[in-house]
Chains A and B, each alone.
Chain A
Amino acid sequence: MTFAGTAAASTLDPTVVWDALVIGGGATGAGLLRDLARRGMRTLLVDRSDLGTGTSGRYHGLLHSGGRYVARDQSAARECIVENRIVRRIAPFAVEDTGGYFVTTPDDPDDYADAFPGLCAASDVDCQEVDVAEVLRRNPTLNPRIRRAFAVPDAAVEPWALIEGNVADAAALGSAALPYHKVVGFDRSGERLLAAKVVDVRSGTEYRVMAGQMVSAAGAWGGQIAAMAGAKLTMAPGKGTMLVFNQRMTDAVINRCHKPGDGDIMVPVGTVAILGTTDIHVADPDDWQITRSEVDELLDEGEKLFPHLRRMRLLRAYGGVRPLYDPNEAGTESREVTRAHVVLDHAARDGISNFTSIVGGKLTTFRLMAQDTADVVARKAGVTARATTAQEPVPDPHGGAKARYHWLGGRLAAHEAEGGGDAGLLCECELVTRSMLEEVLERRWPCSLDDVRRLTRLGMGPCQGGFCTFRAAGAVADHAALVTNDPVAIGDMAEQAMADFIRERQRGTQPIAHGRQLQEAVVTAGFQWGTLGLDSLVGTDARSDAQR
């Protein structure tokens, strides 16, 4: 990711001594920022990229009821259901109340279903057996041969709105979050970290950030941060691949009622449905691929729930890396590693008094993870205030007058209420208007179109940016003109935005490039290269032979 042209100077004030520095802008980091701020600690959060680009931005979209864990990990299940209720209460705008079902397919054992309600009850997870015919009536694409169905309070949760809301809450109390600020080292003196060395990746400027406490919420990258601090921490990142389908073939979360395995959950997330997932250990959280055989495997499993899955439009494949922590510090099989979260006090472990790491966990329990971590950090800082994050609502970043659950049709209804029509729609697939885009550019400049995507859903529909990339680049040029008069710089920024976005969207197409989505890719490439001469704008060193 590069930034062309004039990048605005970082808003970081190096003279400030923060009470705490949080490294990592995923859900846990944002939750921690909010929690510490509410305890009166002036906190700065930094992330090497945009907020929510780590695991939080690449997970399944599921707010667990806990039903998945009732058989093997009761405490995890219990944590899930408690936090599920809290998140619904404090941040309903980020949650779509889809409900969920555990269903028994012909491939699933009856004894698991028999035991399921009891196991749920033991973990306090609401569970109700329901009439299969009714479930099939509402979800006609489900396997008609399912035998039993149990309703649970699963829901879909949107991570970026959640993160934004947490950050906004903290900002109102004088704390701050800075994306595109990468920690590259620490200044250490004896037992204490005095400062973090942070680089604004957009401009290359380096800063020293002084903070009383240093907390790593860097997830799968926790080991790298710890190493910079001189601490030993081995992560066992577990890659999970997910498949995005063009439409919601189900409006409820559908789980297989069996021992948890690959490809056994379908989650409706906004306008799409996401099937997941796999679990493959990777050595480097920044270096991994999605293979076609993984895709095939997922489709095979998914077909057990939705027999016609292979005929449905597959938009892209993406992966995320679970921040699994390996307490044995040796490379164990990913599935064996605990999914529970662990707060690591590096004072005891590594003799660094003011450094703490949070590892493991899942997005559903982000608030609890943040609270547990904040308890340790506050104690070390001598702060006695207690957490209030479970009680107080998270502000809705879209300023909804009345915070309510997210509704799939909300964006379309709002658009029609304002007159409707396609004139102002820059991304037609996802109904992203020109003013929505401009508002994000205003708030986050300088930023990439991928950043805009996270906050608006630009390019996340069937055309995968084929049409809207250029419209968005046009909007970028118009916005750039507000900060510079230099047409070359403006052109640069627009082209860079275009190029980066096309490349990013294409990453998700390659593993699933067949059928209609392959055609979509060829059609859009046809008018991008053929009609519109994109090659004259975006440079690449890898010119094909045909052009020599």
Chain B
Amino acid sequence: MPSADVAVIGAGLAGLLTAVRLAEDGARVVVLSEGNGTLHWAGGPIDLGFAPRASDAADAVRGLARRRGHPYALLGVDVAPALDWFLQLTTDLGLPHAGSLDGGFGPLPTGIGGVRPVSVVPAAQAAALEPWAPGERLVIAGQAGFKDFWPRAVASSLARPEVWGGFSRPARVTAVTVEWPGLHERRNLNALRIAEAFDNPDWRTAALDITARAVASTGPGPVRVGLPAVLGLRDHPRALDAAEERLGAPVMEFPLVPPGIPGIRLHDVLRAKLRARGGRLLLGERVARVETTRRKVTAVATTAATRELVTHVGALVLATGGIAGSGLIGEPSGVIRETVLGLPVEGPPIESWLSGDPLDPGSLPIAAAGLRTDDTLRPVDPGRPTDGPLFDNVRVVGALLAGQQWMVERCGDGVSLASAWRAAASLSGAAPKRRATPRRAEAVR
């Protein structure tokens, strides 16, 4: 039965960030996850917060921090240092991001022809943060027949000024449909397959040539090129450079329906970093039960063939992600069950889980359900918050934290960053540091 200083349950953004930070600090970390996490659906932008009247993300964070019960009320101050760390980390890992807390918002077009506000984005979407120059056009290029990206529909929607809200927008929007080499013959085609094709330098060159010619055919003048988010998986930095060079224009990757290639890229580099620091990520491990002594978790048992994998732990981080991540289950009885420790959940009554007009992003009040914590992110009983933490060595991070309407407030990633930051700091302070490299056997216990 293996042991770890910290077991992180959940391999989404919050879980991986917490694990990486702890591993950097020398802790022995294992990430246990039922499967791959919500990062595999993510489209790229790091959502720190948004409000229509906020001038920038920092402003939005401050506004949300003033809301009673919002995770930012506690964690708002951690967003800045966490973001600094994240930006440095991702740059070191070859996946640099652009933008900042106080740099203002920009409009990022999406794979369905919508526009969403962004403040921090990976390099492939950095152009979204630059205002459009007068006369600058947007040319959207997409593979013919690729079912998750329809250039004409996207361009038609983006041609409407209202879609851009109050943001600056292109002078004109045009769509070109291209035939990248060999793709139309494929019986199976999704964003991942196209991204893998872009990893191949020869194929990439040919595809970009075709694209460049198509873009050039739309006429002279400054352009930005919008592409579906498929510019390489493992070789993305080079694919992006090649694209911008060959197209002679800034390139913007539009997020698509899952599989979310930008999210997978981030997952892959975080996982590599974790491994490099001696941490482990085990998939296919669903928590079956937890062993506790008074207010301490001592071991977590995950499902394995015919028995359990029992990991003795010094601390446990819950990064299981709310309803979307299976960290919470809404039972037909109206109970919202937290799936690892059975902790008491704060959430709306069943009649309000989904309510109102389905075309209102606020029509999912259930998304704000989650756990309440103390200042160090230890879980408390929402009904008796001053009674102290329910467990001393447990931390709650990410979407599992109650009080965030992340679809509307666009704060999910910021909460993940800030909570990972604080949880790791809190645990690093508590646990003795140990070398992360493999060590010789210890004496008989």
Contact = CB atoms under 8 A, between A and B. Distances in A.
A530 B412 contact: yes
B409 interface: yes
Given A471-B148, A494-B157, A546 B190 contact: no
A536 B111 contact: no
B113 A434 contact: no
B114 A530 contact: no
Contacts, number: 217
B357 A540 contact: yes
Interface in A396-436: 419-426, 434
A379 B34 CA distance: 70
A515 B354 contact: no
Contacts of A473: 112, 150, 153
Interface residues of A, number: 68
Given A527-B257, A532-B111, A535-B114, A495 B157 contact: yes
Contacts of B190: 422
A492 B407 CA distance: 24
Contacts of A209: none
B332 A537 contact: no
Interface in A175-193: none
B126 interface: no
A343 interface: no
Nearest to A509: B354
Contacts of A544: 356, 360-363, 405, 408
Interface stretch (A52-60, A275-283, A367-375, A518-526): A518-526
B114 A532 contact: yes
A349 interface: no
Given A296-B332, A487-B156, A529 B358 contact: no
Contacts of B255: 531-532
B106 interface: no
Interface string B190-206: 10000000000000000
B361 A525 contact: yes
B47 interface: yes
B323 interface: yes
B357 A503 contact: yes
Interface string B92-122: 0000000000000000101111111000000
B354 A531 contact: no
Contacts of A518: 323, 330, 353-354, 366
A491 B156 contact: yes
A487 B159 contact: yes
B156 A488 contact: yes
A474 interface: yes
Nearest to A535: B361
A508 to B, nearest CB: 11
A529 B156 contact: no
Given A474-B150, A514-B330, A515-B329, A523 B324 contact: yes
A503 B359 CA distance: 7
A531 B43 contact: yes
B126 to A, nearest CB: 18
A494 B156 contact: yes
Interface stretch (A37-45, A324-332, A475-483): A475-483
Contacts of B366: 513, 518, 522
B433 interface: no
A527 B153 contact: no
A515 B113 contact: no
A546 B362 contact: yes
B150 A478 contact: yes
A534 interface: yes
A478 B153 contact: yes
Given A296-B332, A422-B189, A530 B406 contact: yes
Contacts of B275: none
B134 interface: no
Contacts of B155: 487
B359 A540 contact: yes
Contact of B257 (A490, A507, A532, A533): A532
B163 A537 contact: yes
Contacts of A538: 359
A498 to B, nearest CB: 7
**Of A474, A525, A548, which is in contact with the most chain B CB atoms at under 10 Å from its CB?**
A474
A296 B357 CA distance: 24
A525 B153 contact: no
A517 B189 CA distance: 27
A510 interface: yes
Nearest to A425: B147
Nearest to A489: B156
Most buried by B among A473, A530, A533, A540: A533
A491 B115 CA distance: 13
A310 B332 contact: yes
B296 interface: no
Contacts of B51: 547
24 contacts: A296-B332, A423-B186, A470-B148, A473-B112, A473-B150, A474-B147, A475-B150, A490-B152, A491-B158, A491-B160, A503-B359, A514-B353, A526-B324, A531-B255, A532-B112, A532-B257, A534-B114, A534-B359, A535-B114, A536-B114, A536-B163, A540-B360, A543-B360, A544-B361
- Sorted from nearest, which 3 A-B pairs have the closest CB atoms? A544-B362, A421-B187, A474-B150
Interface of A: 292, 296, 299, 310, 419-426, 434, 467, 470-471, 473-478, 481, 487-488, 490-492, 494-495, 498-499, 502-503, 506-507, 509-510, 513-515, 518-519, 521-523, 525-527, 529-540, 542-548
Given A422-B188, A467-B258, A548-B52, 12 more contacts: A423-B187, A477-B150, A478-B150, A507-B358, A525-B407, A531-B110, A532-B256, A534-B112, A544-B363, A544-B405, A544-B408, A545-B362
